[in-house]
Amino acid sequence: MAYASLKFVIGLKDEQELILTNHLDFFLAQVDRDALVSQPFDYQRNIDYTLLKKSDYLTLMQYKLSKTAYHPTLAGFLGIAANASMNSWAFFSDQYPWYRTTNWGLSLQIPIWSSGSRKYAVDQARLNVEKTKVTDEKMRVGLELQVETARKDFSNAYAIYLNQKKGFDIALKIYTKTLTKYRQGISSSTDLNQRYSQFLAANNNYMQSIFLVLSQKTRLNKLLEQF
C-alpha cells in the first residue's frame, strides 16, 4: 500500500515498477538542524508573497485606469488627398495638374456628468488598493509566524528523534545481550520475549520520530524556499 501511494503521488502507473535507491540514512544525513533553524527568511522573496505583489500591481493599475475617466480626451486628425481628371490614362505624366486638398482638426471631450457611476468605480478601485495593503501585512505576519512555528516544530521533532534514537540503540543492545544469554542457557524465553517486545516498541517509536523530523524538515524547507 505504501508503494501504491508513492506511485500515485509521483504520477506513476500501477503497473510501473518502482525501486527505491536511497535508505533512511541518506535522508537523515541531509538534515542540518543548525542550518535550517538559523537560515534567514525574507518574506519578500517568498513565492506566495511574490504572486500577491503581482496581483497588487494589477489592482493598482486598475485604480489608475479608473481615474482616467475624469481626464479630458484630446484627439487630432490630419488628411491629405490629391485628385486629377484626364481623358486618357496619363496619371503618371507631369503634363496634367493634380489638385491637392488638406484637412485637419482637433477634438476635445471633457467629462462633466456620469450619474455617479464614474465616482463609484473610482472609489471601489481605491478601496481595492487599500485592501491590498491590509492583505500584504496580513500575509507578511502570517508567513513569519508560520516560519517561526515551523522552526520550533522542527527543533522539537529533531530533539525527539535524537532521544528515540538513543532509546532504540539501548533497546537493541539489551535485546542482543539477552538473545546471547538465551542461546547460552543463562536467560529464559520469557525474559527474551519481554526484551524483544521492548525492542519492537523502541523501533516503532524511532521510525515514527524519523518520519516526523523529515516531515517537519520538508515543511520548513518549503517555507524557506526563495525564487
What is the residue-level pLDDT of the chain in tens, covering all 227 positions?
888 898 999 999 888 888 888 888 888 888 889 888 888 898 888 888 889 999 999 999 999 988 888 888 899 999 999 888 777 777 777 777 788 899 999 998 888 877 778 888 888 999 999 999 999 999 999 999 999 999 999 999 999 999 999 999 999 999 999 999 999 988 899 999 999 999 999 999 999 999 999 999 999 988 887 54
Question: Would you tell me how many other CB atoms lie within 10 Å of the CB of residue 53?
Answer: 13
Reading the block at residue 87, the C-alpha cell is: 481623358
Q: According to the model, what pLDDT value does residue 86 have?
A: 76
**pTM for this model (two decimals):** 0.67
| Cβ atoms of residues 15 and 3 within 8 Å | no
Percent of the chain that is helix, strand, coil (3-state, to 5): 65, 10, 25
| Residue 129, burial from CB neighbour count under 10 angstroms (0-12, 13-18, 19+) | middle
Q: Which helix (H) or strand (E) holds 60?
A: helix 47-67
Is residue 126 helix, strand or coil? helix
Compute the mean pLDDT over every residue in the chain, rounded to the nearest whole number. Answer: 89
The CA–CA distances, whole Å, from 99 to 40, 83, 139 equal 77, 5, 70
Render the burial of 137-167: b for 16+ CB within 10 Å, e for the rest. eebeeebeebbeebbebbbebbeebeebbeb
